[in-house]
Chains A and B, each alone.
Chain A
């Protein structure tokens, strides 16, 4: 009986969510093995029982076909009861395929797990659901960003075992080019102490000025959730969330942002979170320290006034 945790790395830089997945896997109270595609690197000094380092020339660049074939062979050879992944964009690309190959279903984006039950969110975080896991393994589970604390993982000196999969020629059907970044990131939100962020609730581009005025009054940076940047109302470089920047300011004021998990991932480390939203059930209130349930078109101008008054 064991748990296999599949870590993610690129050029030796390990994704922090991999450590979180190991911490989640330890909840299962079974020997924890880590798998890396490429060198064991930083995984070789973590508190796990063994590291499988999967080596193959065709795996130097990520491909869903290559990773699925290689991990399928590793899983069949060591028969873990559970296979745990960090719920990264890369995992979303191949892990459902891998689970299907075993006739299994991946429990994706889990927020809590035990040997028998995994909890995950429904309706963009508005509800939670407990799912009973299948009675036999392998059970495939991916763990949501931030659901477990990666810094809780201690050090160790696990045995590193090399594993060489057999990959047939032509097995990798998707040809990948080099990753690239589009904007030069002229705005570095990560350095801001105060961030005032705007979401769908603002309704029209013309209304963003209300939030701009509040940001100016507070001396903070203006940011946004994804739909605002998708609409071109604010530049992409002001986007906070899993596809934008991850910020941890002294205070983060979320205006008209419901707080879907993709947004929360980017801001829930903020020291203080303020939410202004008309929907009292919006998930943003789950992480907020202060909240106003109300119409942002009334509350935001009133707040700007009140801030100006206090600043004298």
Chain B
């Protein structure tokens, strides 16, 4: 089974985010990066499917030079090879633009299955997998919790709202977007890290794949969200703040 995993490199969850005045994106100068968390689960799902059914796992990642560190990490965890679509101004592309170059790269591989995370932790449009599927003319299913391969098709468990689930069966090839937390992520072993250095990491430019279409959605500004409520911050050391909060709970909220 040939599986493509589309993954994205995003600022780490605990990065402090600063927006330059009048900015349309964050100041990236002292941000650290990691594999987008849902994509890490998609990679793990792909590696587990390969262990069960054999085949090949190919990572496709669009991003600047720095994204290579996340691609190497995926190779170290067990992906067989990778395609790095070099694109510096990825945040200026919209979902259709990004999906267009990803689809071009993936189409050339003719995979049986394409996996990606259900959304990115940075832009979070939650659409890339579905748009890639539509551009490739493939069926898709989203927010997937479990994948079972049955000759020529896959049966997957979709998460619905309010604790409901549903099984659906799709013919292959197909595209799935994977929910976070569905499996246990493996760590790269020392051997894996060593082996990763010898694995194929092919770099292509977005232009080689036909280019990123001009964004239809233009970001005008990025800003701190307004507060829905006026928060009373209780100051002082832990003891003082906790005592002040307990007082509020007793005399204002009246739950003690």
> Which chain A residues have a beta carbon within 8 Å of chain B's beta carbons?
64-65, 88-90, 92-94, 96-97, 100-101, 103-109, 117, 121-134, 173-183, 185, 193-194, 218, 226-227, 230-231, 236-237, 242-246, 250-251, 268, 272-275, 279, 281, 283, 285-295, 298-300, 302-303, 305-307, 309-311
Contacts and interface: CB of A to CB of B under 8 A. Distances in A.
Given A129-B222, A299-B241, A106 B165 contact: no
A29 to B, nearest CB: 21
B225 A100 contact: no
B140 A108 contact: no
Interface string B165-181: 11111110000000011
B141 A129 contact: no
A246 B16 CA distance: 30
Contact of A100 (B14, B96, B161, B243): B96
Contacts, number: 248
A185 B215 CA distance: 45
B178 to A, nearest CB: 13
B231 A285 contact: yes
Which A-B residue pairs are the 8 nearest by beta carbons? A230-B181, A302-B242, A298-B238, A306-B246, A96-B127, A96-B130, A303-B242, A173-B139
Interface string B209-229: 000000111111111111111
Report the interface size class on chain B.
Answer: 35 or more
B248 interface: yes
B21 interface: no
A297 B212 CA distance: 47
Interface in B128-184: 130-131, 133-135, 139-143, 158-171, 180-182
A243 B159 contact: yes
A96 B256 contact: no
Contacts of B181: 226-227, 230-231
Nearest to A68: B134
A255 B109 CA distance: 46
Contact of A307 (B94, B233, B249): B249
A175 B152 CA distance: 14
A93 B130 contact: yes
Interface of B: 11, 14, 16-17, 19, 24, 26, 94-96, 99, 118, 121-127, 130-131, 133-135, 139-143, 158-171, 180-182, 215-229, 231-234, 237-239, 241-243, 245-250, 253, 255-256
Contact of B161 (A121, A123, A231, A243): A243
13 contacts: A64-B141, A127-B223, A129-B24, A237-B163, A244-B162, A245-B163, A246-B162, A250-B253, A250-B255, A251-B249, A291-B234, A303-B245, A311-B256
Contacts of B242: 292, 299-300, 302-303, 305-306
A131 B220 contact: yes
Contacts of B160: 89-90, 179
Contacts of A107: 217
A172 B219 CA distance: 35
Interface residues of chain A: helix, strand, loop or mixed (majority): mixed
A109 B224 CA distance: 17
A133 B180 contact: no
Given A96-B134, A177-B166, A182-B165, A108 B223 contact: no
A292 B139 contact: no
A297 to B, nearest CB: 9
A303 B246 contact: yes
A273 B248 CA distance: 12
Contacts of A109: 124-126
Contact of A127 (B163, B225, B237): B225
